[in-house]
Structure 1
Amino acid sequence: MPEYERLYTTSALDHHVDSNWKNRMDRENFTIHPVRKQDNSIRFWTLGFIFNYIKFDSASKKYLVYSKNHGSPLKNYWKDLGSFRDSAFTEFKQLKINEEMEQLVIDKINQIGKDAFNSKIEDVRSEGRYLSVYSQLDTNHEDIENSKYQGINLLLCDEIDFVTKELHSLN
């Protein structure tokens, strides 16, 4: 895509059907070229596990997310995401639930306080704690090395990378 944008901006020809429209686009910094948005899904997926807004229900063998927008009131607002972690994450992303999850986490921080939040983050970031305590992995740790669990393995690596590289305490 960058190549098309370069050709478009360096072209001597006017490619617009309406010069007023082009002027307005230029004034408003509007672009016709696709722009990639930052995907924060892994962030909110991981925070969901840390604060128990996402869980693996061992009775039904399914991943569930707490959502007033998507969950059923008959199930205390828990929404079924599926049986496999990687497909549950895909469903989570398709629900476009990041804003709701962000608000839940903010509300939790306000409820428990900054010190308790920082303490929890320190615990989560302790070596091996996310995987052993918070991730609620439904598969044995050794099994995720198997090629049939490659999607789960990659997702779990992304979660651990988020915890170790991006998750920080509040100042």
Structure 2
Amino acid sequence: MVVVQTADFDPAALYAALQARASGRAGATVSFIGTVRDYAPGEATRTLFLEHYPGMCEREIQTLCDTAAQRWRILDTMVVHRVGELALGDRIVFVGVTSAHRGDAFRACEYIIDALKTRAPFWKRETLDSGRAFWVGQHEDDARKTAQWDTRTPHDES
């Protein structure tokens, strides 16, 4: 399940839905919740505005989930990502993965969030307390992490 929405989400409800879909087959559920943080050094972030390419964005995230399912023995994935104007501390993204075993669930969840940050068509505009606004560029560290997943094989991660 992949959803892009403006509304906030309830992590407990998403976790429960993921568990229900696993029908008792999951020995592990791993989730990640990302929140708005201060991006700019020296001045506080007021808001973060996220735009996306509708349709294409959801397809790309689903492709990442499908890739995770091909690489690891997972049962299900769930990604909910917010767009629009978000305040400091607001939830941005939920990634959940179920699997029979924790290792597969951890690796698949980490892969999805790492790849999502570099491959899904989102654009972020940060506004500081001073009113200054700017587009946030891709972080080199995020690109490096995603590239490392491309060179790994599931055997390397056992």
Query: Which is helix-richer, 1 or 2?
Result: 1
Query: Which is strand-richer, 1 or 2?
Result: 2
Q: So what's the TM-score if we normalise by structure 1?
A: 0.22
Q: So what's the TM-score if we normalise by structure 2?
A: 0.24
